[in-house]
Amino acid sequence: MEPLTIIVLIGAAVVVIALIAMYNGLVRRRLRTDETWAQVAVALKRRHDLVPNLISAVRGYMGFEQAVLTQVTEARAAAIAAGVPGPAASQAEGHLTSTLRSLFAVVEDYPDLRASENVRSLQEQLATTEGLIASARDTYNAAVRDYNTAIETFPAVFMARPMGFAARAFFEAEPSAAEVPAVDL
């Protein structure tokens, strides 16, 4: 074999290996992004599951505060329906956080309710869950940043789009949603 043929074959092999490595790296980043969204979804589901219990616990004490309970219920339903990561999910979860704050503010006006062990326990669980959501959201956003950077940088930018790698949306909470709801026991 001629030296030029050997050089061309080695060059082609290096390019193929580099393309395979780049593709595998993009797949790993995409899967990491999906995994971190699943962690966010688990934390959100936990919050969604706690809300009906909290509403049930306070309903008997707050008969005439039905509007607040209805708002929380509707916000929870909208958050569950939004589901996938993106602006709609971020907005729905932010709205749920706001309505929960309203509920906690109303709970403060009912000393018997604040003293209820069940309500206090649910508030503590919800506050813990809010911390988990914030942490999972941060991890998800970091994974999205890494993934989006990988598909937008040279030379992967030429391969990513044709091979189905699309940019992912960050989970952007409203500024007020970043705060953990106050739990005053």
Residue 49 lies in a domain: yes
Query: How do residues 4-41 score in pLDDT, each as one tens digit?
Result: 999 999 999 999 999 999 999 999 999 999 999 999 99
Q: Which of 135, 130, 124 is nearest to 97 (CA)?
A: 130
Residue 136 lies in a domain: yes
- Write down the pLDDT at residue 185: 39
Q: How far is Cα 183 from Cα 92, in angstroms, rounded to an integer?
A: 22
Query: How do residues 142-164 score in pLDDT, each as one tens digit?
Result: 999 999 999 999 999 999 999 99
Residue 93: partners with Cβ closer than 8 Å, 6 or more residues away: 44, 79, 82, 133, 173, 177
Buried b vs exposed e over 145-175: b needs ≥16 C-beta within 10 Å? eebbebbeeeebeeebeeeebeebebbbbee
Residue 5 lies in a domain: no
Across 3-137, the runs of DSSP E, i.e. the strands, are none
Cα torsion 138, 96, 39, 175 to 10°: value is: 0
175 DSSP assignment: G
Residue 155 lies in a domain: yes
- Write down the pLDDT at residue 183: 47
Residue 2 lies in a domain: no
Task: In the chain, count H helices and then E strands.
Answer: 6, 0
Q: How far is Cα 46 from Cα 55, in angstroms, rounded to an integer?
A: 15
Q: What is the mean pLDDT of residues 105-126?
A: 79
Distances 106 to 4, 58, 166, 170 between C-alpha atoms, Å: 81, 10, 44, 32
Query: How do residues 33-80 score in pLDDT, each as one tens digit?
Result: 999 999 999 999 999 999 888 888 787 666 657 788 888 889 999 988
Residue 17 lies in a domain: no
Q: Looking at the 3D structure of the chain, how many domains does it have?
A: 1
Q: What is the mean pLDDT of residues 160-169?
A: 93
CATH number of the domain that 113 lies in?
1.20.1440.20
Residue 183 lies in a domain: no
Give the residue numbers spanning the domain of 60: 25-178
Residue 8 lies in a domain: no
